Chains A and B, each alone.
Chain A
Amino acid sequence: MSNFWDSLSATTQDALLLAALLAIPALVGLVICRGFALRPLLGGLIRRFFWTNLVFVMLVAVAVAVGIGLIAQERGLRQASARVAEKFDLIIAAPGDQTTMLMQTVFLQAGDAPLIDGPTYDRIANADRVALAAPIAFGDSWQGAPVIGSTAEFVTHLSGDLAEGRLWTTHLEAVAGARIPADIGQSFTPSHGVGHGADDSAHEGVSITITGRMQPTGSPWDKAILVPVESVWRTHGLADGHSPEQGGARIGPPFDPAYFPGTPSVIVHPEGLAAAYGLQAQFDDGNTMAFFPGAVLTRLYGILGNIRAAMSLLALISQALVAVAVIAGLIVLARLFARHIALLRAIGAPARMVFALLWSHTALLLASGGLLGLALGWAAVRLTSAAISARTDLIVTASLGWSELHLLAAFLGLASFIALLPPALALTRPIASDLRQ
């Protein structure tokens, strides 16, 4: 059986799991309601106590929506952060903490980092099967936006063709991220450092003009300004990576190792995945560390995986608790229409039919609430994704997946059993006294 299950595709497994979970309430309903035409009576119960029923449905819907929203949002955030790392195949930096360097290089979180020297960069740039080796020099900012030094090839690798304008041709030109609030042609003076401690006057006299704007990348790089790495070095009074023989106006690689001041990290785009693993082994040698951002993120997600499982379980438990609260309410509600039930029984309705009617009523409320919750959860996920995208630098595109459908189906299965309680209790009530009410 296990082998048969494992041989199925993931989609087939998910669909079968959903069908199996939905089969539980369907079978329970079939067994209980078989042989009865309950629709007119059920319709009467719903209409007679419409607003009370609606309150119960909304209670269930909100509980289901919260559970579904949480799971879908967590997945959306995880995928959005992983999507950012896709352009950063391999990062090479001085030995240190991979997660810290990932945050600094990919997510542009401010921090200090030791530098890779010229000869080391030269070995990386000239290694076999390296398609792109771009220095990433950070540390300056403008109005809170990080100013990153790199190469024109990296800009093209990150964003493709520019959305507007052109790439830089001198060290005093820049390309803005998609969400930088500055126009083409606008000039700025970078501050030394990032955040509250940035020194606005450290680079007085330096005026850099924005000549182009990148396409949106859905990453923190949309709120960054890219400049030639030579610009960062010159702004800090360092050599600019090129020998005097190469000419003072030269921009971009190749760099002369003797005039290369250093860079905190290098982004390497290899000529294929196998080459990436070879380069990682070559440069993870004690003098430098080389790592795959995707692998670091996968490790982090692995740690978070247990939290995700706990969240799913908590969501189901909270839904079950709401279902129990609703059942308790329905038991009280049953007293309101106890007279109607007693009348039915007095005129000869079989106990099984009354049981089926009350079970159907409870199950209908829970199922309606569940389905409405799915719609509400989907709407909530859309809204929160838009809000998170607006407040962070990530493009979160959360959507409903199999997990959410499984959660809803599991809830419906559980609810079909919980719904047995109100009719079971209602049938224990004395008919005569209920008729006198």
Chain B
Amino acid sequence: MMNILKTLSVSLLALIPVATQAHDHKHHHHGEAEHVAEGEGLRVLHAWMAEPEGDEARIYMEIENQSDAPLVLLGAEGDFASGFGLSGMVLQNGVSVAVDLPELIVPAQREMDLEPGGAAILATGLTEHLHEGDVEEIHVLFKGQEIEIEVAVLERGARQHPHAGHNH
């Protein structure tokens, strides 16, 4: 209901001209995203985000460290946002609050799930309007290597990737 009210109020306030934005299709397409990307001793699976409501998007994925050394996740790079960082969630006075993280360490031979309510790659200052069905490319930055993976944009409010748990 509040979304309806928000839309109504935005319409009432719509005296400000709508800014049109250039749309970069270079690393963007519509359709099915690749589910797996592999690097040296690691795999990244099922990267996704829910259709953003604001100018930020939390990107989730499964990271498998198949090596015998800890894997350090540093962040990401991409064309559809002005900044990328790592973010976690903590409870403060009964409310979930996002907290910036400098890095995340995936232990040797372990898997880390970036998922709603937990850690995520946070894209800030979105430069494109992302819609359900879009696919965006990002480079996930690890210490010593980076991996290119496609991020599927799912419906607004999505809680998990439709293939979550599938072992490709």
Mark A residues whose CB is within 8 Å of B: 1-7, 13, 16-17, 20-21, 23-24, 78-83, 85-86, 273-274, 276-278, 280-282, 284-285, 292, 294-299, 302, 305, 309, 312-313, 316, 403, 406, 410
Distance between A421 CB and nearest chain B CB, rounded to angstroms: 22
If the complex has contacts A278-B105, A292-B118, are A1 and B10 also in contact, measured as CB distance less than 8 A? yes
CB pair A298 B104 closer than 8 Å: no
Chain B 1-40, CB within 8 Å of chain A: the 1/0 string?
1100110111011101111010000000000000000000
CB pair A16 B110 closer than 8 Å: no
Question: Which residues from A are CB-within-8-Å of B102?
Answer: 274
If the complex has contacts A3-B19, A277-B88, A316-B1, are A83 and B93 also in contact, measured as CB distance less than 8 A? yes
Question: Which residues from A are CB-within-8-Å of B90?
Answer: 273, 294
CB pair A79 B93 closer than 8 Å: yes
Distance between B158 CB and nearest chain A CB, rounded to angstroms: 10
- Bound-state CA distance A410–B4 (Å) is 11
If the complex has contacts A4-B16, A277-B112, A281-B106, are A78 and B94 also in contact, measured as CB distance less than 8 A? yes
Residue on A nearest B94 in the bound complex, by CB: A79
The verdict on B167 contacting chain A, using a C-beta distance below 8 Å, is no
Instruction: Please pick, from A13, A78, A281, the residue contacting B107 in the complex, using a CB distance under 8 A.
Output: A281
Besides A274-B88, A282-B110, A403-B2, 8 more A-B contacts (Cβ < 8 Å) are: A17-B6, A21-B5, A278-B107, A284-B111, A294-B90, A294-B91, A294-B117, A298-B117
* Interface residue range, chain B: 35 or more
Residue on B nearest A294 in the bound complex, by CB: B91
CB pair B1 A298 closer than 8 Å: no
CB pair A312 B19 closer than 8 Å: no
CB pair B12 A278 closer than 8 Å: no
If the complex has contacts A17-B5, A278-B107, are A273 and B101 also in contact, measured as CB distance less than 8 A? yes
CB pair B91 A82 closer than 8 Å: yes
Residue on B nearest A300 in the bound complex, by CB: B117
Chain B 121-135, CB within 8 Å of chain A: the 1/0 string?
000000001000000
Question: Which residues from A are CB-within-8-Å of B2?
Answer: 309, 312, 403, 406
Distance between B106 CB and nearest chain A CB, rounded to angstroms: 6
CB pair B1 A309 closer than 8 Å: yes
CB pair A295 B117 closer than 8 Å: yes
CB pair B94 A274 closer than 8 Å: no
Residue on B nearest A298 in the bound complex, by CB: B117
The contact sample of 20 A-B pairs, CB cut-off 8 A, is: A1-B17, A2-B18, A3-B21, A7-B55, A20-B8, A20-B13, A79-B93, A82-B94, A277-B118, A278-B104, A281-B107, A281-B110, A281-B112, A285-B110, A297-B91, A298-B116, A298-B117, A299-B159, A302-B117, A305-B157
CB pair A1 B16 closer than 8 Å: yes
Question: Which residues from A are CB-within-8-Å of B92?
Answer: 86
Distance between A417 CB and nearest chain B CB, rounded to angstroms: 13
Question: Which residues from B are CB-within-8-Å of A6?
Answer: 53-55
- Bound-state CA distance A294–B99 (Å) is 14
Top 8 nearest A-B pairs (CB, nearest first) are A79-B94, A20-B9, A298-B117, A295-B117, A83-B94, A281-B112, A82-B94, A6-B54
- Bound-state CA distance A295–B103 (Å) is 19
The verdict on B145 contacting chain A, using a C-beta distance below 8 Å, is no
CB pair B96 A298 closer than 8 Å: yes
